[in-house]
């Protein structure tokens, strides 16, 4: 057995035989294990679980010892992903008697700048970041080309939903923007196992724990940034203007786009008003 494959097979796993971050999420959704056990798990309240393959890769890669990551091969990482995928499918099928379906998806972001032409974009700055991004893309390309028997959907940036009630396992906050394509969308977090409805999505913005009045939408993800994935934060002046508006007009995380537009319309500086509106 190669050093690469041995490292993948010996990765850190949870109570389920899954990469640790993924295991904790699925344990939480299914109410399994000592930490998450419940007789009424959230998996019984949804129709589907949507899993971002980039998140599945991140959890796999992060569960492998750092000192061997430079030797990892895409084909061995793909084997680890397939192992996690099959275990997830078996666990959810068993827990829900086949009622809840797993949907795997991947975005290539080929139209990202077209979707968000005025955003400030995150850039890969270090050689390590560039290498990790390259091996992620190679591994996922192999997986998609292999076409394993699973419900796999490919998108550019915008996700097209199917009107179902879903849990979404993703570390890309941008995926949450397309909630209108679903009857209900709740975020399932890796590692913490937390399940977040829209009222909690402000925590996915940069500095989100303090943004308790800020709704999560196209405007706010671009102004505040999304942590460490796609969007960089804009200047503090632009962020503070929105925070002041949220206080003045009593916004909440559930404030509608119409009410946000109303507040933007009351901004004195026409340049700032026009810029914010362009982001929506």
* Percentage, residues of the chain above pLDDT 90: 92
At residue 228 the predicted structure's pLDDT band, cuts being 50, 70 and 90, is confident
Q: Are strands 184-188 and 195-196 parallel, antiparallel or unpaired?
A: antiparallel
Contacts of 85 (CB under 8 A, 6+ apart): 56, 104, 148, 150
**3-class secondary structure, 150:** coil
d(CA 153, CA 212): 34
The angle that helices 257-264 and 236-248 make with each other, rounded to 10 degrees, is 110
**3-class secondary structure, 48:** strand
Phi then psi for residue 190, to 5 deg, are -70, 160
Average pLDDT over residues 44-62: 98
Beta-ladder partners of 196: 187
Average pLDDT over residues 33-40: 91
At residue 208 the predicted structure's pLDDT band, cuts being 50, 70 and 90, is confident
- Alpha-carbon distances, residue 124 vs 75, 121, 169, 216 (angstroms): 24, 10, 23, 25
Q: Which domains does the chain have, with CATH numbers?
A: 3-196 (3.40.50), 205-280 (no CATH)
Residue 209: pLDDT over 90 = no
Average pLDDT over residues 176-191: 98
pLDDT of amino acid 44: 97
Beta-ladder partners of 154: 106
Helix ranges restricted to H, 197-235? 218-224
Yes or no: say if 141 and 121 are a contact pair by the CB < 8 Å rule: no
Average pLDDT over residues 167-174: 98
Distance of alpha carbon 48 from the chain centroid: 16
- Alpha-carbon distances, residue 265 vs 148, 208, 262, 272 (angstroms): 50, 24, 5, 10
pLDDT of amino acid 9: 96
Number of residues written out for the chain: 280
Average pLDDT over residues 130-156: 95
Q: Report pLDDT digits (tens) over 137-147.
A: 999 999 999 88
pLDDT of amino acid 10: 96
pLDDT of amino acid 227: 87
Yes or no: say if 193 and 25 are a contact pair by the CB < 8 Å rule: yes
Report pTM. 0.96
Average pLDDT over residues 45-49: 98
Which tokens is 167 given?
Answer: 């849990």
Yes or no: say if 173 and 154 are a contact pair by the CB < 8 Å rule: no
pLDDT of amino acid 147: 83
Average pLDDT over residues 27-43: 94
Residue with the two structure tokens 């397309």: 178
Yes or no: say if 47 and 164 are a contact pair by the CB < 8 Å rule: yes
Residue 1: pLDDT over 80 = no
Q: Report pLDDT digits (tens) over 230-267.
A: 999 999 999 999 999 999 999 999 999 999 999 999 99
Beta-ladder partners of 231: 121
């Amino acid at each position: 057995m190669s050093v690469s494959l041995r490292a993948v097979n010996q990765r850190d796993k949870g109570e389920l035989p899954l990469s640790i971050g993924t295991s904790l999420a699925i344990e939480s959704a299914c109410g399994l294990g000592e930490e998450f056990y419940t007789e009424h798990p959230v998996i019984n309240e949804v129709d589907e679980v949507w899993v971002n393959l980039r998140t599945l890769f991140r959890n796999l890669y992060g569960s492998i010892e750092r000192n061997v990551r430079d030797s990892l091969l895409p084909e061995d990482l793909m084997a680890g992903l397939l192992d996690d995928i099959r275990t997830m499918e078996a666990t959810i099928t068993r827990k829900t008697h086949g009622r809840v379906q797993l949907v795997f998806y991947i975005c290539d972001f080929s139209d990202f700048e077209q979707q968000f032409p005025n955003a400030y974009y995150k850039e890969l700055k270090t050689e390590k970041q560039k290498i990790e991004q390259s091996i992620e893309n190679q591994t996922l390309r192999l997986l998609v080309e292999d076409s394993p028997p699973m419900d796999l959907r490919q998108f550019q940036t915008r996700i097209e939903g199917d009107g179902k009630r879903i849990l979404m396992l993703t570390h890309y906050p941008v995926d949450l923007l397309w909630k209108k394509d679903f009857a209900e969308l709740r975020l399932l977090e890796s590692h913490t196992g937390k399940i977040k409805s829209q009222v909690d999505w402000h925590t996915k913005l940069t500095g989100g724990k303090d943004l308790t009045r800020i709704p999560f939408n196209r405007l706010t993800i671009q102004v505040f940034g999304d942590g460490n994935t796609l969007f960089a934060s804009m200047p503090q002046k632009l962020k503070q203007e929105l925070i002041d508006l949220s206080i003045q007009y009593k916004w909440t995380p559930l404030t509608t786009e119409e009410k946000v537009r109303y507040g933007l319309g009351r901004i004195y500086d026409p340049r700032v008003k026009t810029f914010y509106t362009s982001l929506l």
